[in-house]
Amino acid sequence: FRFPSPIGHISTCPSLIGQCCKTHPGSFQEELVIRPLHSGDIYASFQFRTLWDTDFLQEGQKVSHYRLFPKSLGQVLSKFSVRELHISFTQGFWRTMQWGQPFIPSPPGAELWVWFHDTVSDVDGNWKELTNVLSGIFCASLNFIDLTNTVQPSASFKPLGLGNATDHRFLRYATLPREIVCTENLTPWKKLLPCGSKAGLAVLMKSEKLFHSSFHSQAVHIRPICQQCSSKAWELRQTLNVVFDLHTSGQGKKEWSLFKMFSRTLTEACPLASSSKVYVDITDNPEGELFELSPATPLLGQAVVLGDRRTYSVYDLSRAETFGQLRSFNLLLRWKGDSGDMLRPLLHAERYVAGFGLQTGEIHTVIYNNHPYRAFPVLLMDSVPWYLQLYIHTLTVTSKSRDNKPSYIHYQPAKDRHRPHLLEMLIQLPPHSMTEVTVQFERALLKWTEYTPDPNHGFYVGSSVVSALVPSMVAMRTNFTQDQPLFSSFVPVKEESSYFVRVYTEPLLVNLPTPDFSMPYNVICLTCTVVAVGYGSFYNLLTRTFQVDEPSPPLSKRLANLIRRMRGVPLLT
Amino acid sequence: MSHDLLQMHLKAVISCLVIVLYKVHTTKAGQFFSSGHTNNWAVLVCTSRFWFNYRHVANTLSVYRSVKRLGIPDSHIVLMLADDMACNYRNPKPATVFSHKNMELNVYGDDVEVDYRGYEVTVENFLRVLTGRLPPSTPRSKRLLSDDRSNILIYLTGHGGNGFLKFQDSEEISNMELADAFEQMWQKRRYNELLFIIDTCQGASMYERFYSPNLMALASSQVGEDSLSHQPDLGIGVHLMDKYTFYLLEFLEEVHPASQANMNDLFKVCPQSQCVSTPGHRTDLFQRDPGSVLITDFFGSVRKVEITKDTINLTSPVEPPIKRSGSSDIQIESLTYVDQLPVAEIIHQKPKQKDWHPPDGFILGLWTLILLVFFQTYGIKHLKHIF
């Protein structure tokens, strides 16, 4: 059930935007960040932020007028008393060693984590209904999220929005690593934007180009934030990260333009947006010796993001001169020289399954700390499905070939068909080292109805999450201001010397022992044949009797006998 | 007298003309109001998994595309695709599904909403959608919310046989189950008229057992015949469409929302010379004459408009509530962000309160054994020392 976006407002209210905003509090900002990567690929990150100064859960206030904030999400938030909602759909895997850190990380497949309000009495019931409603909104099979793949992390995934109470009974986390992302997920995502895909930066989102990429991730983040920390507001962030490959999309030429990446150019900013900007990362190109950027712009911006101070060329789409004579804005980056080596990211993680055969195996998670002299703690969260039975007594954590005892371990064992394994550990990583976490497991036999229609593909195990406060090279800003670009103001910063980063490992694909599904049919056929042949012969032996039966004589003999009888002569036999 | 005769003749001719014109007018008007439906729904199902069954997904998407083009909105279409072909890693052109070779027509498009996908397409879910017996938390986009004035189009494609249709290579639906599902729909008045189209091998066997009224069925092949696929595309490497649906798509591309094409034209789609198999149809359960049933009665969503000359007064809009004044005091203490990785707090975290469970059977048995042994050795008179 989709609601049409309020496009009517564009024609009626462009000149009254200032007046509109006074009576209807809220604002919409959109931005696009383009970051050329060292491997020749290009990383584009869209962020759309809708702010709404209202409180859904206040008593006596019924929200019925939605302007910029989409009604479908607003109703979901108030019905299920959701405090924070983070959902992401990703196709592909983010290669940290080649591409650096993304602005907002996400694991392959679908990931959903939600903080509920303390007033909720039945969190599991609300969680189940919420996943069903979201599966309808985003056209994804989120209804497969149930208690067998939901966990309650005890230390990871602290709320990113306002709040001081962090009782982990109100947090739920689930991933679906098998979830496919395609145009049917992008269509409803685009419909949540105030301008839809008709104006502004969202016109660039053409599925044929977006899905022909190495990495595609779209996410929705809803949380309460404070504006200048005097009033509370709801923030809806929609982010779309895409990495275009040099060889498949770029045809091997190190020359990128908006038209080449998205097959569209920009013609106008979204009229409902209070700010609409395009940022291009030119930190590696201060004098223009690496690549050439056109059209040139005098606006420059600096932002501290991911522990580094980066310089950006800013294009403001709300100004008419950005579009030039042709009323169309097409950015062009042409490479002149070869870029050197990239700085190694400070935190990196990998995961794989070791062992052979279909009975046992071993999961290895490897975490790299590439900082030359600083050690820092990381929180590793592993959620393993119940059909891989972990042997926690074989858990070993080694750094630099010595045992490294974690300062905090939380393990919740799995219950067959009810609950997955949850393992959370706080590990101190020594500087410039590799830490390996291994645990052995045994594969379970599933009931024959629990296998998917294609069981020989294998079964997925969701990514591990490594959360860390990484020491930063540059002082981070601890308070957010209005004019800060969106990509640098997502994670709240508490202290200047470190920044929070979350790294996802690869999901695992393990083969479970699969039965031959034609066996029931074979067994029935064979058994029935054996029984029929055996019982049939036995029955015949017992009940069959033999009688002598004279055959009836042929017609000629019968006629001859008739004539002989008439003559009175003895008959033929 | 000849003048009177002439006048009489003229009057007769004029009255005849008037009667003829009136009849034409009423048949047109009669036709307009005789179809009896007020809304249209479509349930489009592709039941095959794996990349080499690309053509079944293309079949379903081409019917989806036609139905959307002729006016049925996404909220009234339940689209079930058992596997993802567009973003499949084997697809050389991601986010596209082509129906014609040389990539002429992308039936996937840019605005598609798939309601049931992947493992969700099962016989159980299909029958639940038809009969409406879904769990209460199912979202609206996954429900068939039809009423007794809905015309429903049901399209199935996949691999089938004599009396069954295979779902996802692991289960099947039989023609009797389908007939019973339609009977349940009739008894619950979930449709006004239903058009059932199936494009599988031996498709006519699937509609043999129908027994509910107001059903019309079309199949791509008779019992004992196979439906064949149309043309492969060497760039993609698989067959793109089935013959019957290919010609059905060509026929539907000519239909527009105001078209007067009727069911008899649909029955003529893909004769044996083009399709190799013999398409079949069944109209004995249908009350109206197929010649008077328009294609847009099922494939389109033609709304009836009643023009009124009365004015309607709209009520004044709801005033948005005034900015909260007293709430600011309550919120001041909570306007802080939480530490993302509070190391000290985590290390000193108290272990979670474990829920108390009643003792397990093993523990109970063990205690019973201990007590029994105790009383056997020391006798029952020692009980009084305990109580």
Q: What is the mean pLDDT of chain B?
A: 85
**Residue B25 is among the residues annotated as catalytic for this protein:** no
B201 an active-site residue?
Answer: yes
Distance from CA of A405 to the nearest CA of B (A): 13
Cα B349 to Cα A246, B344, B357: the distances in Å are 48, 9, 23
pLDDT at B180: 96
Residue B118 tokens, joined: 């992947």
- The pLDDT confidence band at residue B1, using thresholds 50, 70 and 90, is low
Q: Give B338's contacts in chain A (Cβ within 8 Å).
A: 158-159, 163-164, 166, 492
Whole-model pTM: value is: 0.84
Each residue of A451-505: pLDDT tens digit? Answer: 999 899 999 999 999 999 999 888 887 776 667 788 888 888 888 888 899 999 9
Q: What is the pLDDT of residues A368-393, one digit of tens each?
A: 999 999 999 999 999 999 999 999 99
- Rg over CA atoms, chain B: 33
**Phi/psi at A300 (5° precision):** -125, 145
End-to-end CA distance of chain A: 93
Q: A113 to chain B, minimum CA–CA distance in Å? A: 15
Task: Please state, in angstroms and rounded to a whole number, the distance separating the CA atoms of residues A72 and A78.
Answer: 10
Q: What is the pLDDT of residues B75-94, one digit of tens each?
A: 999 999 999 999 999 999 99
Closest to B249 (Cα-Cα) out of B116, B98, B75: B98
- Across A7-21, A293-307, A324-338, A496-510, the highest mean pLDDT is recorded for A496-510
- How confident is the model over B22-45, as pLDDT tens digits? 554 445 554 555 567 889 999 999
Least confident of A255-259, A556-560, B30-34: B30-34
Q: What is the reported pLDDT for A1?
A: 34
| Residues A381/A367, Cβ–Cβ less than 8 Å | no
Q: Among A51-55, A389-393, A504-508, whose mean pLDDT is lowest?
A: A51-55
Residues of B in contact with A492 (CB under 8 A): 337-338, 340
Q: Let me know if A62 is exposed, middle or buried by CB neighbors in 10 A (0-12, 13-18, 19+).
A: exposed
Residues of chain A in contact with residue B137, where contact means CB-CB under 8 angstroms, are: 128-129, 132-133
Q: Is pLDDT of A22 > 80?
A: no
What ipTM did this prediction achieve? 0.85
| pLDDT(B330) > 50 | no
Q: What is the DSSP letter of B213?
A: S
Per-residue pLDDT at B338 exceeds 70: yes
Percent of chain A with pLDDT over 70: 94
Question: In this prediction, what percent of chain B has a pLDDT beyond 90?
Answer: 55
Q: Write down the mean pLDDT value for chain A.
A: 88
Q: A154-176: per-residue pLDDT in tens?
A: 999 999 988 777 788 999 999 99
**Does the distance separating the beta carbons of A208 and B93 come in below 8 Å?**
yes
Tell me the shortest Cα–Cα distance from B143 to chain A, in angstroms: 10
Residue with tokens 């879910």: B125
CB-based contact B141 A139, cutoff 8 Å? yes
Q: Best residue in A154, A197, A207 to probe B by mutation, most B CBs within 10 Å?
A: A207
Task: Tell me the β-bridge partners of A327.
Answer: none
Calculate the alpha carbon distances from A245 to A98, A398, B92, B318 in Å.
Answer: 12, 36, 15, 51
pLDDT at A323: 84
DSSP per residue, A118-162: TT-S-HHHHHHHHHHHHHHHHTS-GGG-STTTEE--SSS---SSB
Mutation site, B41, B122, B338, B347, interface A, largest A CB count within 10 A:
B338
Question: pLDDT value at position B53?
Answer: 94
pLDDT for the residue A16: 38
Minimum mean pLDDT among A106-115, A297-306, A527-536: which range?
A297-306
Lowest mean pLDDT segment, chosen from A105-119, A279-293, A364-378, B316-330: B316-330
Using the predicted structure, report yes or no on whether residue B239 has a pLDDT greater than 70: yes
Q: A59-63, B148-152, B209-213, B253-257: lowest mean pLDDT where? A: A59-63
Q: What pLDDT, on a 0 to 100 scale, did the predictor assign at position B285?
A: 93
Say which of B95, B117, B338 has its CB closest to residue A208. B95
